[in-house]
Structure 1
Amino acid sequence: MVQYTGTHLDASFAALSDVTRRGVLEQLVRADASITDLAEKFRMTLTGMKKHVGVLEQAGLVTTEKVGRVRTCKLGLRRLEEEAMWIERYRQLWEARFDELDKVVEGLKRKEKVDGRRKK
């Protein structure tokens, strides 16, 4: 079984739990952006956006570089493979459980049809 670093996953999922931070990542997929540009796009203060970017940066999802007075944000090097593997493991588990539930439901439907014919 794959072992996961709890704090690593915690930081990633905490960063991804906020709609603004997910939006920032979506923006950075398209192009690098300054914190000022991101703050304007999301209609928030520079301080608020700096906090969001800081959470993303701490999780390794974003990197920043300061040139002069402008801090530019880029996607980080992390590709979320570890998180995707963790999610996939549970997706497979639930898919198997739903497949079994489908079999039970189909069996009950067949039994109901047979019992319905006998009563007539």
Structure 2
Amino acid sequence: MSLHTELLDYVERAHEGALLAPARLSQDALNLVLRNGVVLTVRYAAPDAYSLRWRTSADIDGVELGIDTAPVHPQLETTPNHLHRADGSVAADPLTDPRRSPQENLARVIDVLGRDPQLADFGT
């Protein structure tokens, strides 16, 4: 079973109430629409290699935030995982940890984005 299929099953079981529409699998991602209009695209190549990107329905100009584990920012305390802010800057990742399971990381992201899609509570 692919990791995306496992995550789809997990989200449908554990986070159905957080979704505005049914979760969808695409060729390389799991696509979620949260109740507050956040559109979240989840991509996992491996349990410790992922890209999570989101935008709100109000972000018609393409503003997007995201977290990924590409090892390109060694100066950050959370390397390899890092946060791409809406302004294009990069910061330490306040939500995920590659040592946690994909389900744990996704649960944290769904929970926080449901309340704070711009991560204002995290100083971003």
The TM-score normalised by the length of structure 2 is 0.21
- Report the structure, 1 or 2, having the larger strand content: 2
The TM-score normalised by the length of structure 1 is 0.22
- Report the structure, 1 or 2, having the larger helix content: 1
Q: Which has the higher contact order (CA 8 A, sep 6+)?
A: 1
